[in-house]
């Protein structure tokens, strides 16, 4: 059996838990929108055509922000096509996913849906086939109160009050050769800076995200971030990171430790951004929006879009059916995001429904939770207050891709108001359980609220429409108090959460 000791002190704080960390992503891709969140003919559909069963699961998932409308889709999208009377909206070819976009669902529908979901919108603008003028037009339509052509058009379309969208993505993956309208870093940096300046003339308080590299393996990774921020440092607030994870050559031990790669990615981009700031002698810090992340089996058949003369409406695409092992990895990636909450202030799991998603639906039928739903929902619900600095000591495990690493990865949060601590843990060892001791310096444990685990049994188990709870969290009855410590046993290849009531033994610092 492996061992691990986690030393926690409520006074050692990394940063407040960013509520935007628990975001998701809705793109006009596959069945994410049509027969996903929107299906007017569904038995549960509300008067706006939104599936009530999906809305209930979205609220349970705890999503705080939703990025829209893409993704690759946005780089050839005309936002004007998706507003106004539905019967007058033009169908368009979607060049990103080789599909036919009906435009039955657009900005106004999305804003009605997101308010019902109780989340904040993150809006992406098209800097692929379009540019600054169209971005400012979209901003005026969405956020201006009235008295201008576009704001009055929104009011005529039924939205009297402005949408008040605060957070905007300046394009999507503009370094990718697959992207319609891809650019070099200096070209994109100048366009992003120009668009940001124009948008801030409307509202200086907007929060703007520049495109970082599409993933860490891009040939221009690093130089892209440097060159973009050299052009746009003073005009943007965040830079995006995108990363998807899957087993390579059936190497499950390395896959379980995917958070090691996410850690390196975040640390690298933080260092690059800070180096640009240092050269500029700027006190400003560029934050990170990890606005696409998930497990995605990109080489699998469901990820292959149509081709040729076939331009279907909402074809099934990227519909990965997740296993327990995938859920353990997602839990580990959430630990990495929380650990970096001093710089990662927004993140979006991609995507929300059907497309590499925690929620699946059948057209006209049921909706259910995938395995990856559970660690996300538990973390979003219980990671509150401040992220704590976790000092780890204990056994290691060896992986081909990441070398020797801690067998147990963990992060903890502390909620002053509730007097509650949540500890999130992953046992990354494939074969050995781990006996974990949580050492709470400067605090006293009053009780154990709950401890749950995902994994440790059949790592290939999956939830389905007929068996939606095959891989749900189960109680971990090993959690117990031993003196002033908490001890628990983590099964091999598992994610766990322990919630404790804790009182500080000394006055808390501000």
What are the backbone dihedrals phi and psi of residue 420, each rounded to the nearest 5 degrees, phi first?
A: -125, 140
Rounding to the nearest 10 degrees, give the CA dihedral for residues 97, 132, 211, 202.
-120
- Give the DSSP letter of residue 447: E
Q: Given the structure tokens 């219980």, which residue do they identify?
A: 382
Q: Which of 173, 225, 231, 260 is catalytic?
A: 173
- Gap between the Cα atoms of 262 and 321, Å rounded: 22
Q: Which letter, b or e, does each residue of 248-271 get, where b requires 16 or more Cβ atoms within 10 Å of its Cβ?
A: eeeeebbbbbbbbbbbebbebbbe
What sign has the CA pseudo-torsion 335, 59, 172, 237? Answer: negative
- Which H or E element spans position 121? strand 120-125
HSE-CB for 442 with a 13 A CA cutoff: 13
Largest CA distance in the chain: 70
Task: Tell me whether residue 506 is one of the annotated catalytic residues.
Answer: no
Question: From the CB of residue 28, how many other CB atoms can be counted at a distance below 10 Å?
Answer: 26
User: And the tokens for 261?
Assistant: 């790669």
Q: Are strands 485-490 and 480-482 parallel, antiparallel or unpaired?
A: antiparallel
Q: Are 491 and 434 in contact (CB under 8 A)?
A: no
Q: What is the residue-wise DSSP string for 209-262? A: EE---SSTTSTTTTHHHHHHHHHHTTT-SEEEEEEEE--STT-HHHHHTTHHHH
Task: Tell me whether residue 39 is one of the annotated catalytic residues.
Answer: no
Q: Which of 39, 80, 134, 292 is catalytic?
A: 292
∠ CA 122-124-128, rounded to 5°? 170
What are the backbone dihedrals phi and psi of residue 485, each rounded to the nearest 5 degrees, phi first?
A: -105, 165
Instruction: Give the residue numbers annotated as catalytic, written as ranges.
Output: 173, 292
């Amino acid at each position: 059996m492996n061992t691990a000791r986690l030393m926690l002190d409520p006074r050692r704080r990394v940063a407040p838990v960013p509520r935007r960390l628990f975001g998701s992503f809705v793109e006009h891709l596959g069945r994410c929108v049509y027969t996903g969140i929107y299906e007017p003919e569904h038995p549960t559909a509300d008067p706006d055509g939104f599936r009530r069963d999906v809305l209930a699961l979205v609220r349970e998932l705890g999503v705080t922000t939703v990025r829209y409308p893409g993704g690759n889709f946005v780089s050839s999208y005309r936002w004007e096509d998706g507003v106004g009377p539905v019967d007058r909206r033009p169908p368009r070819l979607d060049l990103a996913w080789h599909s036919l976009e009906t435009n039955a669902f657009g900005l106004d529908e999305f804003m009605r849906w997101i308010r019902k979901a109780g989340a904040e919108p993150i809006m992406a603008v098209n800097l692929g086939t379009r540019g600054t003028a169209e971005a400012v037009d979209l901003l005026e339509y969405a956020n201006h109160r009235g008295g201008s052509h576009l704001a009055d058009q929104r009011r005529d379309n039924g939205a009297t009050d402005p949408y008040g969208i605060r957070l905007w993505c300046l394009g999507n993956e503009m370094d990718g050769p697959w992207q319609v309208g891809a650019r070099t870093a200096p070209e994109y940096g100048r366009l992003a800076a120009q668009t940001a300046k124009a948008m801030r003339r409307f509202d200086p308080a907007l929060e703007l995200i520049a495109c970082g590299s599409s993933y860490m393996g891009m040939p221009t990774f690093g130089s892209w971030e440097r060159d973009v921020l050299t052009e746009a440092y003073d005009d943007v607030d965040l830079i995006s990171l995108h990363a998807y994870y899957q087993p390579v050559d059936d190497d499950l031990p390395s896959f379980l430790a995917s958070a090691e790669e996410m850690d390196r990615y975040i640390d690298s981009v933080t260092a690059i951004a800070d180096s640009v700031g240092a050269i500029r002698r700027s006190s400003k810090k560029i934050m990170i929006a990890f606005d696409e992340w998930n497990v995605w089996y990109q080489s699998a058949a469901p990820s292959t879009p149509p081709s040729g003369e076939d331009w279907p409406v909402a074809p099934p695409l990227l519909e990965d059916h997740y296993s327990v092992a995938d859920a353990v990895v997602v839990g580990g990636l959430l630990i990495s995001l929380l650990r970096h909450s001093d710089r990662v202030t927004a993140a979006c799991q991609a995507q929300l429904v059907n497309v590499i998603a925690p929620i699946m639906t059948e057209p006209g039928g049921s909706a259910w939770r995938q395995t990856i739903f559970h660690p996300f929902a538990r973390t979003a619900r219980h990671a509150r207050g401040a992220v704590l600095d976790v000092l780890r000591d204990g056994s290691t495990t060896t992986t081909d891709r990441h070398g020797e690493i801690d067998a147990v990865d963990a992060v903890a949060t502390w909620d002053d108001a509730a007097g509650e601590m949540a500890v999130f843990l992953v046992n990354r060892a494939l074969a050995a359980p781990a006996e974990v001791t949580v050492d709470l310096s400067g605090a006293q444990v009053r009780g154990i609220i709950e401890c749950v685990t995902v994994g440790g049994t059949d790592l290939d188990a999956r939830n389905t429409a007929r068996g939606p709870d095959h891989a749900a969290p189960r109680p971990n009855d090993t959690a117990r108090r031993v003196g002033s410590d908490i001890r628990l046993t983590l099964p091999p290849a598992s994610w766990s959460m322990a919630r404790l009531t804790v009182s500080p033994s000394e006055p808390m610092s501000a």
